[in-house]
Amino acid sequence: MNLASSNSISAQPGRTIRFRIKRCDGPGKPSYWQAFSVSPEAGANVLSCLQQIAANPVTADGQRTTPVVWDAGCLEEVCGACTMVINGKARQSCSCLVDQYAPNDGDEITLEPMSKFPVVRDLWVDRSRMFHNLKRVKAWVPIDGTYNLGAGPRESHEQQERRYALSTCMTCGCCLEACPQFLPEANANKWDTSFVGAQVLGQAHLFNLHQTGEQLASDRLDVLMGQGGVSDCGNSQNCVKVCPKHIPLTESIAALGRAVAVHSVKRWFTSK
Amino acid sequence: MAQQRVIVVGGGLAGLAATIRLAESGIGVDLFSMVPVKRSHSVCAQGGINACNEVARQQGYSEYEHFDETIYGGDFLADQPPVLEMANFAPKIIDLLDRMGVPFNRTNEGFRDLRLFGGSLFKRTHFAGATTGQQLIYALDEQARRWEAEGRVAKYEFWEFLWPVIEDGRCVGIVAQDMRTMQIRAFRADAVVMATGGCGLVYGKSTNSVICTGAAAARCFQAGVWYGNPEMIQVHPTAIPGADKLRLMSESARGEGGRVWVPRKKGESRRPKDIPEAERYYFLEERYPKYGNIVPRDIATREIFQICVSEGMGVDGENQVYLDLSHKDPEYLTRKLGGILEIYEKFVGVDPRFEPMKIFPAVHYSMGGLWTRYERGSYQPASPLPGHKSGSRAPIGAEIGQGMQPGSPINMQTNIDGLYAFGEVNFAYHGANRLGANALLSCIFDGLFCGKSVENYVRDVVASKGQADQVPQGAYDRVVAQEEAKQKRLMDTVGRGEVAPEINPYQIHKELGTEMTAACTVVKSGPRLEQALKRVEELKERFARARLSDSAAWTNQSFSYARAVGDMLTIAEAIVKGSAVRKESRGAHYRTDFPERDDAHFMKTTVAKFDPASAQVSVELVGVDASLVQPRKRDYTGKSAGGSVEKKAAASPAAV
């Protein structure tokens, strides 16, 4: 927390700022740029400015256009929906304060859809690949059923804290956008052989840490041992730098790297 | 015979819990959601989930006391038997979530940790960091994904529910729209579960997610489903006003010494730090010398509202007051309140350790919702018992089936056969006011306990009346045609000239939110409600002439939004009319012209009904089942006099 970042001190009231937005009308359509002038209200963030644009979609040079499309949910940086590339960096737009990004009259903010996922329209991308990968690594605890069978396993405070940190992953995709090895794959058939990325590695690690979840550890490691698995990580460590929830993703990658090594030796000896 | 299928609309806690329960029983589930279910609004819940537990039990707490607290907190408006069942079932839910791997906070010995929460003197709230809702929904999301991988669950994400298909008084499917391709199509189902949450967006800005328009409930309402207690809307006293939404600021900021004030001079332009002590109006401390800033939430809410809306003394002429911690030691604040102060700094860009926060009450939760039925359980005392004395022996044990009959097909079924309402979208458990950390509970309880009811309905009732695949296609085609016509009417307005503010859906929604917030939240009165009703009528008339600005046949977000504005207007009308009919004050509903609770006339559910012929909403009063515990005055001020701050905070009933 830093007093210097206080908006009430630095931002110029009554200013007009510009949004340069990379737009696209739909899959397979060309991208194009449009600029919009916005007079941000007090405390505005990128989403509230997009709401203004949607209510009156006129470009900076006075052309009527269609409202910009974007994805949003909680607006509290906990659902992950509103992730986009802002001034070149992926982050949630709800917590992106305009007073900090564009404090002066005439300042410009650039918005682009994430580049690693197919665009649905404008700033809205299709992240179903992330959910598909969760299925592949069986990112769940294999409980016997929902009937009453008493409490779950006891757990130390430290273990709970480790799991909680991993479990705050909101599937936003920032780590994948920043990763040099995670490639956009328009063809869903390539998803299973292309690098899975930090998001799903963190989740695989999370469930391997749970006493019951561990029962599927072998299945998870089988997936992560193959092509596109943990060994495809290039160790740029970008993921951990951009994660909005400060999840220690590189620790998960290291832990899984070790587990996969042991697992593959075991597999070799038992030739399963 | 084709496999039996159930449609679940909404993938928050209630919808996911129902999905898992049904999938487990061998029934196929089609799960519809406007967002990937993992991003549903349940993620926003912070505080925790209530249930009796071993430690509290040995201290004298019981499931029965949890039941009594919930009824009392709800000011005796809830039908009592379902609440008893929920409280009795609650510990099983915590155990199940624990088995699913929810990282509940732990004690030194590795047991689940507990915290004190509003409305109880016992620690009965389980929590996972400061994001309990997120952690619970992730656990359920993972289990639903497991069933999806096994082919038992099919997800329809980015699909919007448009209308229930009702044939011969029975719900046999839905019509929905793909939000990307804009395709409108019908889906058959042997039963439909609505689990679509609250309607905060009717108030413009609230603590709710952008998807919480209440449109899905409004569409069921217009299709003939009754709506219970629409006027019961919970307002949280301290939220952070934002340009896009209102984010919660925890009550602990006041508990740790935060002072609420406004400048004495209207139109004050000096910075708060430059305003001398004598020119600050600490209105809570002056008006409530005994409790000061830690008056119960409903009082705090009402006073802040009065200062801004009625007295026009809000900071910078806006609806906001200062919540000031800047007189406290910054180190102390970081240690005690670090997490919540970071939220303020993240979204406002101001460090509250050095500058007063600006806060205002915000619409938070809808106790009212789709009207539902239930079958009474085995506990039926000859006459209602007096109020439970905290910590005393419970009159009954916590066996399942005493409140509601387990598996009865009518549990949480609306007045339409085969159409269920689970979670915040129903009206069943919270009466006139919800206790903090009871919302997550009621959602999961519905999904698990009443999921069994859906299963039985599908197996037994459908077996006698025939499966949905026997229903003539015409029943579905009619609804598809209705929705296509609705879409065409709105889309045809594109390019018909300028979108003047008067007929701009965004502007209509904004004005609706402003009006509803002013007339229908914290302080209501007969004349003001009449005015609000006229205003809603005017907005409806303007909406009929609304003009859109995007004719795209692909991912047309602004069209979908505009359509929801029309539905919000209908819910708004029900809220205003319910408020007008209820000529008393109870829980979250406060009328200046009727400031007292009036059990003789109004210990009743307001049931709103929609007449399709006239498109009018009517409201009638239906008796409450208060057969278990006698009503008594709801008064949180007495007990905690002289107690610790923590205890007083604990005694104020509201949600975090």
Q: Residues B620-629: pLDDT tens digits?
A: 999 999 999 9
Q: State the sign of the Cα–Cα–Cα–Cα dihedral B200, B206, B209, B210.
A: positive
* Rounded CA separation B380/B80 (Å): 11
pLDDT score at B172: 97
| Pairing label, strands B184-188, B5-9 | unpaired
* Rounded CA separation B370/B575 (Å): 12
B-chain residues near A45 (CB < 8 A): 242-244, 347
* Rounded CA separation B526/B535 (Å): 14
Q: With an 8 Å Cβ cutoff, are A79 and B145 in contact?
A: no
* Rounded CA separation A155/B511 (Å): 51
Average pLDDT over residues B278-295: 89
Give the rounded distance of the alpha carbon of A128 from its chain centre: 12
Collapse the DSSP code of B416 into the 3-class scheme (helix H, G, I; strand E, B; otherwise coil) and give the result. Answer: coil
Backbone angles phi, psi at B153, to 5 degrees: -120, 130
Q: Residue B115: which pLDDT band, with cuts at 50, 70 and 90? A: confident
Fold of A127-270: Fumarate Reductase Iron-sulfur Protein; Chain B, domain 2 (1.10.1060)
**For residue B500, how many C-alpha atoms fall within 13 Å in the half-sphere facing its CB?**
6
Token pair 């309607």: residue: B199
What pLDDT digit, counting tens, does each position of B420-466 carry? 999 999 999 999 999 889 999 999 999 999 999 999 999 988 888 88
Catalytic residue among B170, B247, B297, B563: B297
pLDDT score at B654: 40
Model confidence at B213: pLDDT above 60: yes
Give the CA distances from residue B460 to residues B3, B194, B471, in Å, rounded to whole numbers and listed in that order. 14, 20, 17
Q: Indicate the residue of A57, A66, A79 with minimum beta-carbon distance to B43.
A: A79
Bridge partners for A125 per DSSP: A119
Model confidence at B323: pLDDT above 70: yes
* Rounded CA separation B262/B257 (Å): 16
* CATH no. of B5-232+367-474: 3.50.50.60
pLDDT score at B1: 52
Q: With an 8 Å Cβ cutoff, are B243 and A44 in contact?
A: yes
Q: Pick one of 3.40.50.1980, 3.90.700.10, 3.40.50.1370, 1.10.3720.10 as the CATH number of B237-361.
A: 3.90.700.10
The 10 Å CB-count burial string (b at 16+, else e) for B488-514 is eebbebbeeeebeeebbbbbbbbbbbe
Nearest CA in chain A to B507: A55
Give the rounded distance of the alpha carbon of B15 from its chain centre: 14
Q: Residue A271: which pLDDT band, with cuts at 50, 70 and 90? A: low
| Pairing label, strands A108-112, A83-86 | antiparallel
**Domain ranges, ordered by start, for chain B:** 5-232+367-474, 237-361, 489-609
A-chain residues near B105 (CB < 8 A): 157, 160
pLDDT score at B650: 37
Q: With an 8 Å Cβ cutoff, are A45 and B108 in contact?
A: no
Average pLDDT over residues B292-296: 79
Count of CB atoms within 10 A of residue B310's CB? 10
The pLDDT > 70 percentage for chain A reads 96
Average pLDDT over residues B260-284: 95
B-chain residues near A148 (CB < 8 A): 92, 95-96
Mutate to test the interface with A, among B34, B39, B55, B560 (most CBs of A within 10 A): B39
- Cα distance between the two ends of chain B: 48
Q: With an 8 Å Cβ cutoff, are A3 and B20 in contact?
A: no
Q: With an 8 Å Cβ cutoff, are B36 and A77 in contact?
A: no
**For residue B239, how many C-alpha atoms fall within 13 Å in the half-sphere facing its CB?**
26
B297 is catalytic: yes
Nearest CA in chain B to A128: B36
Nearest CA among B161, B279, B262, B154 for reference residue B213: B161
Q: Indicate the residue of A42, A48, A160 with minimum beta-carbon distance to B244.
A: A48
Nearest CA among B40, B34, B6 for reference residue B160: B34
Contact, B656 vs B436, CB < 8 A? yes
pLDDT score at A231: 96
Q: Residue B310: which pLDDT band, with cuts at 50, 70 and 90? A: confident
Nearest CA in chain A to B129: A164
Closest-CA distance, A181 to chain B, in angstroms, reads 25
Structure tokens at B475: 């029943």
Nearest CA in chain A to B444: A146
Backbone angles phi, psi at B318, to 5 degrees: -105, 170
CA angle A159, A161, A163 (to 5 degrees): 70
Q: Is B412 left (phi over 0), alpha (psi -120 to 50) or beta?
A: left
What pLDDT digit, counting tens, does each position of B334-347 carry? 877 877 788 899 89
pLDDT score at A272: 54
Contact, B202 vs B571, CB < 8 A? yes
Q: Indicate the residue of A1, A41, A79 with minimum beta-carbon distance to B209.
A: A79
What pLDDT digit, counting tens, does each position of A163-203 carry? 999 999 999 999 999 999 999 998 999 999 999 999 999 99
Q: Residue B182: which pLDDT band, with cuts at 50, 70 and 90? A: very high
Backbone angles phi, psi at B216, to 5 degrees: -65, -45
Average pLDDT over residues B191-204: 98
What pLDDT digit, counting tens, does each position of A7-62 carry? 444 688 889 999 999 999 999 999 999 999 999 988 899 999 999 999 999 999 99
Q: Indicate the residue of B20, B241, B351 with minimum beta-carbon distance to A6.
A: B351
Count of CB atoms within 10 A of residue A66's CB? 21
pLDDT score at B255: 76
Q: With an 8 Å Cβ cutoff, are A43 and B348 in contact?
A: yes
What pLDDT digit, counting tens, does each position of B35-89 carry? 999 999 999 988 789 999 999 999 999 999 999 999 999 999 999 999 999 999 9
Nearest CA in chain A to B17: A146
Q: With an 8 Å Cβ cutoff, are B92 and A26 in contact?
A: no
Q: Pick one of 1.20.810.10, 2.10.109.10, 3.10.20.30, 3.50.50.60 as the CATH number of A3-124.
A: 3.10.20.30
pLDDT score at B288: 86
Average pLDDT over residues B156-183: 97
pLDDT score at B231: 98
Nearest CA among A251, A215, A152, A150 for reference residue B102: A152
Nearest CA among B438, B380, B443 for reference residue B67: B438
* Rounded CA separation B441/B423 (Å): 9
Q: With an 8 Å Cβ cutoff, are A26 and B555 in contact?
A: yes
Write out the H or E segment, with its range, that includes residue B573.
helix B557-581
* Rounded CA separation A114/A91 (Å): 9
Least confident segment among A161-175, B197-211, B294-308, B582-596: B294-308
Beta strands in chain A (DSSP E): 17-24, 31-38, 83-86, 89-92, 108-112, 119-121, 124-125
Q: Which DSSP letter does residue A58 get?
A: B
Fold of B489-609: Methane Monooxygenase Hydroxylase; Chain G, domain 1 (1.20.58)
Q: Residue B638: which pLDDT band, with cuts at 50, 70 and 90? A: low
Count of CB atoms within 10 A of residue B304's CB? 26
| Amino acid (1-letter code) at residue B104 | F
Closest-CA distance, B506 to chain A, in angstroms, reads 6
What pLDDT digit, counting tens, does each position of B644-655 carry? 333 333 333 343
Structure tokens at B285: 């401390």
Q: Indicate the residue of B98, B146, B557 with minimum beta-carbon distance to A140.
A: B146
Q: Residue A244: which pLDDT band, with cuts at 50, 70 and 90? A: very high
Model confidence at B369: pLDDT above 90: yes
B-chain residues near A141 (CB < 8 A): 99-101, 139, 142
Count of CB atoms within 10 A of residue A106's CB? 11
| Pairing label, strands B604-611, B616-623 | antiparallel
Token pair 């009625």: residue: B310
* Rounded CA separation B499/B491 (Å): 13
pLDDT score at B33: 98
Model confidence at A2: pLDDT above 80: no
Average pLDDT over residues B473-492: 98
Structure tokens at B223: 């299709």
Nearest CA in chain B to A129: B36
Q: With an 8 Å Cβ cutoff, are B134 and A3 in contact?
A: no
The average confidence (pLDDT) of chain B is: 93
**Domain ranges, ordered by start, for chain A:** 3-124, 127-270
* Rounded CA separation B206/B187 (Å): 33
Backbone angles phi, psi at B385, to 5 degrees: -80, 155
Nearest CA among B339, B129, B323, B237 for reference residue B649: B237
Number of inter-chain CB pairs under 8 A, A vs B: 223
